[in-house]
């Protein structure tokens, strides 16, 4: 494995009964970069993370992390990686400080060093004030931050984050994003899973889109967005009957790409600037009432629609008949 590759998989496969969680997954993650595994519920993201963190064995294929085989060198590898799982794995009956101290002791840091490191990390994640409180009283965002801190106790060069910001409020999300960015600036490699295109776009150098256990697209965020299309203007009308009139009024400004659905009209934009004001004026001129108007970027759903021709589906709509599995 070249030294600039931190994580590499070749033909990874894993099934649970007749559910193909991973089908021949090939990934390569550069050192000190962020790699985003993007996919809907049931795509296989957590399965991939569990295999890469030695918690689960693949049925076939190979995976190397930090140059170590995930099966043959599992024990050695565990000292090189940190994992913050999809559900925060912190102990509610301990304080934040005690949680981190315990992890330090598990890594044989010794009492003094473990306590030092705990204090340092609480500081980094702005949990110092809450550090003496039981985790049971923490908010979701605080637990996530503590979980991430726990994954960092041993200063692992490679970090796995499984949906790190799911369920967080916008502010906690931003805080976690900047914490991740600063780790990567200091040389950490991060593989993160997410269901949010904007999250992958903001953090990841490369993104692999997963669907039903397969990687269906891979590239830099800007490549992916170029394939999917850019921003769109969304106008919710006061009356659904006005959809036709609205499309006609907007066509001279934005071209023919506008689509209507119920009382909402969506128009692909080549340029954001001035689009909202122009649209409001044009609709006003023809007497179409606007309930809401905003510009939105592409979402995971848009990616799926473009790449697969269907919306992101949940695991039950796998081609294996889900009723046959019950």
46 contributes a contact to Mg ion by CB under 5 A:
yes
Query: Least distance in Å: CB of 86 to Mg ion?
Result: 5
Does residue 182 contact residue 203 with C-beta atoms inside 8 Å? no
Instruction: Tell which one of 5, 10, 19, 253 touches ligand ATP (CB under 6 A).
Output: 19
Using the contact rule CB under 5 A, the part of the chain among 67-75, 81-89, 142-150, 224-232 near Mg ion is 81-89
9 contributes a contact to Mg ion by CB under 5 A:
no
Q: Which residue is nearest to Mg ion (CB)?
A: 46
Instruction: Please tell me the distance from the alpha carbon of residue 247 to that of residue 293, in angstroms, as a whole number.
Output: 14
Between the CA of residue 224 and those of 67, 125, 174, 217, what are the distances in Å?
Answer: 29, 32, 22, 8
45 contributes a contact to ligand ATP by CB under 6 A:
yes
43 contributes a contact to ligand ATP by CB under 6 A:
yes
Query: Least distance in Å: CB of 42 to ligand ATP?
Result: 4
Subset of residues 165 to 224 that bind ligand ATP, contact rule: CB under 6 A: 195
Instruction: Please tell me the distance from the alpha carbon of residue 169 to that of residue 201, in angstroms, as a whole number.
Output: 18
Tell me the three-class secondary structure of 244-261, residue by residue. HHHHHHHHHHHCCCCEEE
Token couple for 182 = 């600063």
Reduced to 3 states, what is the DSSP secondary structure of residue 210?
Answer: strand
Does residue 13 contact residue 22 with C-beta atoms inside 8 Å? yes
Using the contact rule CB under 5 A, the part of the chain among 14-22, 40-48, 149-157, 262-270 near Mg ion is 40-48
Query: Least distance in Å: CB of 166 to Mg ion?
Result: 9
Instruction: Please tell me the distance from the alpha carbon of residue 183 to that of residue 32, in angstroms, as a whole number.
Output: 9
Subset of residues 76 to 95 that bind ligand ATP, contact rule: CB under 6 A: 86
Instruction: Tell which one of 6, 9, 12, 42 touches ligand ATP (CB under 6 A).
Output: 42
Q: Determine how β-strand 81-84 pairs with β-strand 158-162.
A: parallel
The entry of Mg ion, ligand ATP, none near residue 42 (CB within 5 to 8 angstroms by kind) is ligand ATP
Cβ atoms within 10 Å of 157's Cβ, excluding its own: 17
113 contributes a contact to ligand ATP by CB under 6 A:
no
Query: Least distance in Å: CB of 317 to Mg ion?
Result: 17
Q: Which residues contribute to the site for ligand ATP (CB under 6 A)?
A: 16, 19, 21, 39, 41-47, 86, 195, 315
């Amino acid at each position: 494995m070249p030294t600039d590759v931190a994580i590499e998989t070749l033909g990874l496969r894993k099934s649970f009964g007749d559910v193909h969680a991973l089908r021949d997954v090939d990934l390569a993650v550069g050192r000190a970069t962020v790699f985003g595994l993007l996919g809907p519920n049931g795509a296989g993201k957590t399965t991939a993370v569990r295999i890469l963190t030695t918690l689960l064995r693949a049925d076939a294929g190979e995976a190397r992390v930090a140059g170590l085989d995930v099966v043959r060198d599992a024990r050695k590898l565990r000292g090189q990686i940190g994992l913050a799982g999809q559900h925060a794995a912190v102990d509610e009956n301990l304080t934040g400080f005690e949680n981190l101290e315990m992890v330090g002791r598990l890594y044989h840091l010794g009492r003094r060093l473990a306590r030092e490191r705990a204090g340092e990390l609480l500081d980094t994640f702005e949990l110092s004030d809450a550090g003496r409180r039981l985790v049971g009283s923490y908010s979701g965002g605080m637990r996530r931050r503590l979980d991430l801190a726990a994954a960092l106790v041993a200063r692992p060069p490679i970090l796995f984050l499984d949906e790190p910001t799911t369920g967080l409020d916008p502010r906690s999300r931003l805080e976690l994003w900047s914490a991740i960015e600063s780790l990567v600036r200091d040389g950490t490699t991060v593989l993160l899973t997410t269901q949010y295109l904007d999250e992958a776009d903001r953090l990841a150098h490369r993104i692999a889109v997963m669907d039903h256990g397969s990687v269906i697209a891979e590239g830099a965020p800007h490549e992916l967005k170029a394939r999917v299309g850019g921003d769109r203007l969304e106008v919710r009308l006061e009356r659904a009957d006005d959809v036709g009139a609205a499309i006609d009024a907007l066509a001279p400004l934005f071209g023919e790409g506008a689509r209507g659905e119920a009382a909402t009209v969506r128009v692909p934009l080549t340029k954001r600037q001035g689009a909202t004001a122009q649209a409001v004026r044009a609709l006003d001129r023809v007497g179409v009432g606007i309930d809401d108007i905003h510009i939105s970027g592409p979402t995971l759903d848009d990616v799926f629609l473009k790449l697969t021709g269907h919306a992101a589906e949940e695991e039950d709509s796998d081609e294996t008949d889900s009723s046959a599995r019950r």
